[in-house]
Every structure is written in C-alpha cells, then in structure tokens.
Chains A and B, each alone.
Chain A
Amino acid sequence: MTRTSRKSSLHQQIDENLKRVFEETLQQDVPDRFMDLLAQLRAKEKAGDAGPAVPEASSLTETTDQTGASDAGKGLGS
C-alpha cells in the first residue's frame, strides 16, 4: 500500500491490468486443432525423413490418427 514512487503508480496499475488481460487468455484451454496440427507436422516431417516410400504420408491430411503416425515414424528417423 505504501508505494513511494507516485509517478509509477498509474504505470503499475496499467501493467497489472495488462498482465491480467494476458493471463486470462493464458488460462484458456488450447483448442484441439493445435495439437492436431502439431501431430500432422510431426508426421509429415517423419514421413519426409524416411523418404517417399512411406505410404501413409499422403493420407495423413485426411485421417487424424496422430498418435499412431508419430509413433510409427520414431524408429525411422535415425
């Protein structure tokens, strides 16, 4: 309560509110579309590493079998 710097009191209030506005969004759940997207990107990358011989590569955009796809690629990377 006893902030000596008068000049920064408004400044501080503004920053506190900015943080609150920002944090409100931070607490929202991230929509599934982003996890799906990351899984797709990973799958695509793994497929690319392994060469064009991976048959699932083209069907990845249609199916959302993310876990299977990313696990399958794991061994092929190295």
Chain B
Amino acid sequence: MTATEIRDPRDELPEHLPSLRAFALSLTRNATEADDLVQETVVKAWSNFDRFQPGTDLRAWLFTILRNTFYSVRRKLRREVSDPDGIHAQGLFDKPQHDGRLAMNDFVRAFDQLSPEHREVLTLVGANGYSCEQVSEMIGVAVGTVKSRTNRARQRLAQLLQLEDGEGLLDTQPAEMAAVMGRSGTQAA
C-alpha cells in the first residue's frame, strides 16, 4: 500500500459509464448504437488496463478508446454503405423557429446534422471542458487542427441555427427581446 491513494481503474470505471454513454450518444446519435459502443469500449478497456497509466485521467483514456472504436466501425461500414457523410440528411433540416434564443429541439436537430468529427470536438471541448491540448492527445490530431475544427463546428452549428455572432439571447433586438421576455418568465434569469 502506497501513501497516495491510486484507485484501481476497474473500480473507477462504473463512475464513468454515464459519461461514456453520453459521449457515445453524441457520436452515434442513436441510443442502441451508443450502448453497443459503450459495451465494446468497456470490454476493450478491461483487457488493456495494464496499458493505463495510473493517476492519469481515466475518463479521457476511456473516451479515446470509445472514439477509436467508433471510427474503426464506421470505416468498416463506409465500405458497405454509400452516403457516408449523410449529405442527403442535411436537406431534411428546415429553418428553425427564430425567436431570439436557442430552442432546445432546434439545437439538438442542428447538432444531429453535424459530422461526427464536429460533434466529437464540440462534445469534448464545449460540453466537457477539455482543453484543445487535451483533446489533441485524446483524438490524435494536432492542437491547431482541434482548434480550427472546433471553430468550424461552432460556425456550422450557428449556421444551421441561422444565428450569427452577436446574435442570440443576449443580443436580440429590443422588440424581439420584449416578446421573448413577455412570453416566458423563465428566460429572465
């Protein structure tokens, strides 16, 4: 027993299951596929724990396994299915209702339209607060690429939501703002 308490990653793993599922869902956008992906990730992680460096970020390590698994499965499927980027699906996206704020449904639908690569960086950087440097290590691409990819992903998302910088909840036109405030008091906070 050492003085510093380093937990066995096997004991720690269950705590990361919710994050793994959420990350898997952000990549697959399909609950069944997401859980299959998590299952595969857990099995892989288990047989590779000897390669995990104790004391480092287990969640980041698990995320890396998960996304690598996701992309390798996808590459395999790509050979069988055409329309790999779901280009036709983009046509299905209609103009979101623009009332000066990001409605959740619109947001989720716009998020769905992004490529998995874009969803990935947004989930890691935007939702989980990893730095571009950390993400660079996790996904094995240059820091600069992570930065530019994240920027492009945000731009694309804004484009899909038909919002531009400086526009949105905090910067709506006075009339629009009044309408929003009048409609729902919950927005006031």
B39 touches A37 (CB 8 A): yes
**At the interface, is chain A mostly helix, strand, loop or mixed?**
helix
Instruction: State the interface size on chain A (CB cutoff 8 A).
Output: 31
Chain B 38-75 residues near chain A, CB threshold 8 A: 38-39, 42-43, 46
Interface contact tally, CB-CB below 8 A? 96
Task: Give the one of A22, A30, A38 with max B CB within 10 A.
Answer: A22
Verify if A28 is at the interface (C-beta below 8 Å from B). yes
In the complex, which residue of chain A has the Cβ closest to the Cβ of B26? Answer: A22
Query: How many chain B residues touch the partner (CB < 8 A)?
Result: 39
Tell me, in angstroms, the Cα distance from A35 to B21 when the chains sit together.
13
Known: A10-B167, A11-B154, A30-B18. A38 touches B122 (CB 8 A): no
**A3 vs B169: C-alpha distance in the bound complex, in angstroms?**
12
B21→A10 contact, CB < 8 A:
no
A22 touching B35 in the complex, CB below 8 Å, given contacts A14-B158, A38-B14:
no
Tell me the chain B residues, 16-34 only, with Cβ under 8 Å from chain A: 17-19, 21-23, 25-26
Within A1-60, which residues are at the interface with B (CB < 8 Å)?
1, 3, 6-7, 9-11, 13-15, 17-23, 25-28, 30-31, 33-35, 37-38, 41-42, 45
- B→A interface (CB under 8 Å): 10, 13-14, 17-19, 21-23, 25-26, 35, 38-39, 42-43, 46, 102, 104, 107-108, 111, 122-123, 126-128, 154, 157-158, 163-171
